[in-house]
A = this chain, B = another copy of it.
């Protein structure tokens, strides 16, 4: 602030403010707004003035500030490369225990992070160039894959919906979805990505049991005897939606998202997910903890992970 008052002219009216520029500074272009940014080097300090809104600030930081910082610190030509491995279906503590020998290293470093039912490991290495850093990462990644192969579904910017999209598109396969407790969330996650229409035909949200019977063909006696949340219902739903929509794969989820509706035998958080394909149907029992929102998102992700494994095999 003292710096600003030292260099700036007197304050103009509101609508001219954004055009103000500190003398001797360099303008940082803003492609997404009217507020400009500025770079000033004074008394051996580098100042970067940027607008507050992240939509404007982030692209400016990427396009201008980062390259400038690289230029400023070019004396130290070390390159930092990170590789992110995405896990599903395994707990952070289990992974931690089994990589103690790898996390003590300094170059590369191996660090775990957890988020909403998923976990990631970040392997980071420095070297004088990118290839050198990658060469340090490769053997550590290979070792981790040897230990956890089936649980690692992706790298870097991959997500469960993106790897599902990749493997289905690559196999020219189509998908149909039957959802109960997730109420459309599975399909919403898949269609968050543009291009989902290349493999996703659509699906049926069978919130009511009558819909499970009438639209998906789950026999009434299954719903009565085994219940809507059961292995059999999940199986019938996945096979039913596959048949009804004439897709290569059909997936389903039925469960108790809570907070009410749980019983000692079928507690809140219990769900069954199924994957039906041309050769076989798999059903899995899932029990997730957390709020209604957390249970729904975790069950949905679990189903996507099972689908990815089924199709990848």
A203 and B180 CA atoms in complex are apart in Å by: 10
Residues from chain B with Cβ under 8 Å of A259 in the complex: 194
| CB of A190 within 8 Å of the partner chain | yes
A201 interface neighbour in B185, B191, B203, B210, Cβ under 8 Å: B210
Residues from chain B with Cβ under 8 Å of A201 in the complex: 207-208, 210-211
Interface of A is mostly: mixed
Q: How far is the CB of A267 from chain B (nearest CB, A)?
A: 15
| CB of A183 within 8 Å of the partner chain | yes
A184 interface neighbour in B188, B260, B292, Cβ under 8 Å: B188
Q: How far is the CB of A256 from chain B (nearest CB, A)?
A: 11
| CB of A231 within 8 Å of the partner chain | no
Asked whether, in the complex, the Cβ of A183 is within 8 Å of the Cβ of B208, the reply is no
| CB of A124 within 8 Å of the partner chain | no
Q: How far is the CB of A33 from chain B (nearest CB, A)?
A: 15
A195 and B292 CA atoms in complex are apart in Å by: 12
Interface mask (A278-313 → B, CB under 8 Å = 1, otherwise 0): 000000000000001100000000000000000000
A260 and B198 CA atoms in complex are apart in Å by: 13
Residues from chain B with Cβ under 8 Å of A202 in the complex: 204-208, 211, 215
| CB of A196 within 8 Å of the partner chain | yes
Q: How far is the CB of A50 from chain B (nearest CB, A)?
A: 22
Q: How far is the CB of A158 from chain B (nearest CB, A)?
A: 19
| CB of A258 within 8 Å of the partner chain | yes
Interface mask (A238-264 → B, CB under 8 Å = 1, otherwise 0): 000000110000000000011110000
| CB of A14 within 8 Å of the partner chain | no
Closest to A175 in B: B207
Asked whether, in the complex, the Cβ of A205 is within 8 Å of the Cβ of B207, the reply is no
Q: How far is the CB of A92 from chain B (nearest CB, A)?
A: 17
| CB of A187 within 8 Å of the partner chain | yes
Q: How far is the CB of A49 from chain B (nearest CB, A)?
A: 27
Asked whether, in the complex, the Cβ of B194 is within 8 Å of the Cβ of A177, the reply is no
Asked whether, in the complex, the Cβ of B187 is within 8 Å of the Cβ of A215, the reply is no
| 25 A–B contacts, CB within 8 A, in A order | A177-B205, A182-B191, A183-B184, A183-B187, A184-B187, A184-B205, A185-B188, A185-B191, A187-B205, A191-B257, A192-B293, A194-B259, A194-B260, A195-B260, A197-B208, A200-B207, A201-B208, A201-B211, A202-B206, A202-B207, A202-B208, A202-B211, A202-B215, A203-B207, A215-B244
